[in-house]
Amino acid sequence: MAPLIDRSNQREAMVTRQIAGRGIRDPHVLNAMRHLPRETFVADGFEEFACEDRPLPIGHDQRISQPYIVALMVEAAEIRPGDSVLEIGAGSGYAAAVLGHIVDSVHTVERHEQLAETARENLAKAGADNVEIHVGDGTLGWPDAAPYDAILVAAGGPSVPASLKRQLKPGGRLVIPVGEGEEDSPQRLRKLVRTGADAWDDADIGGVRFVPLIGAQGWTEDGRRSASNHVPGQNSGKSLPQMIADAADPLPDIDDPEFGADFDRYADKRVVLLGEASHGTSEFYRARAAITRHLIENHGFTIVAAATEWGGDMEVKEVRPSRGDSFERVCHDADVPQFLLDLKRDDAVRRRLTEQKLERFIGVIYRPETELQSHYAAASLAQQFDAWVWFDETRAITPLDTDKTRDGVPDTYPFGL
């Protein structure tokens, strides 16, 4: 077993700079976050990043919120010793541990059985023995222990679930993200205070970005709104890889003239930027050439590209299988050998691919021994790209002999002018 690393100084810096430094003043919140070992609640390999001000993946398309957002929500909920508290979306257990550091007991509902078990293990390691985790539909709350002084929801719903509102005590506070997280419907963090049997004050705290709240009074698995007058809607029951397979346009061979024609849909754009996640594959260079040639010859595009010379001899390396919590894995599981996925065409797929996952970026240098730290980063496909081209299997390029360079051409030939 690796020796435990004392990260108390990192936590103190986290609280001072990221939390207190951004306006959080509640001493209960600041004290809890100083003492709780946040590194216990992140995925293996991410411990050194635990105190950074960013969300981190924890599996099952979920992530642990950045420290500031946890602090903001707990402070907004006005948690005090003696309060009865319900959390929706246990995740890795960190926010529940923060709550449990302030109050005597916390109930939290998590819809993923495996994630709930991981949260239990994390809480036990952190010594938080006053959190009870239930597996179920969080949009329905947890009536058995209601009413609550405060309810915090760690996922964004299309609206505020009526079940949660009804489970508040008079004067109770509900903090929840609401909205799709798209440009036309951004998520807003809202705070509701129950002022009567059927009356609530509603305040807007600010813009946020959370994973979707899935359930009978939230979103369905395929990204559609489940609730209509709080009546559960239809759920397609499809996994994300199945949704991608249905929405994807299979691509012909790169040498087929129809390959470039599949990109005619972008002919009316002023700029088309072609990027790659894996540098040095034959498929990327051939596909880029085919797309570029088609847009220039058929739609009047003009393109100037430049390349930078890198030293060192080329090596052909075997790339490790993708991580289970990555976009690469869900595309592989779609079981379509090569495809074009138009991220603006299918709203349900776009919403699902807005959720952050890990994406692997392999540049000129590949270090498999430090792959998680060197090559993976959190990404949101639908927010970063208009389309995604996928090749399930790729081959290394064959380097040209530098002695064969033609006289009189620039170093950046054939991509530069």
First-to-last alpha carbon distance for the chain, in angstroms, is 56
Helix (H) or strand (E) holding 84: none
Please tell me whether the peptide bond between 147 and the residue prior to it is cis, using omega within 30 degrees of 0.
yes
Angle at CA 370, nearest 5°, toward 367 and 373? Answer: 115
* Cα gap 69→72, rounded to integer Å: 5
Catalytic one among 65, 163, 226, 322? 65
Our answer to whether residue 8 is catalytic in this structure is no
DSSP alpha helices (H): ranges in 26-156? Answer: 27-35, 67-76, 94-102, 113-125
Q: How many CB atoms lie within 10 A of CB 326?
A: 18
Closest C-alpha to 319, from 244, 391, 242 = 391
* Cα gap 415→344, rounded to integer Å: 30
* Cα gap 277→325, rounded to integer Å: 16
Catalytic residues: 65
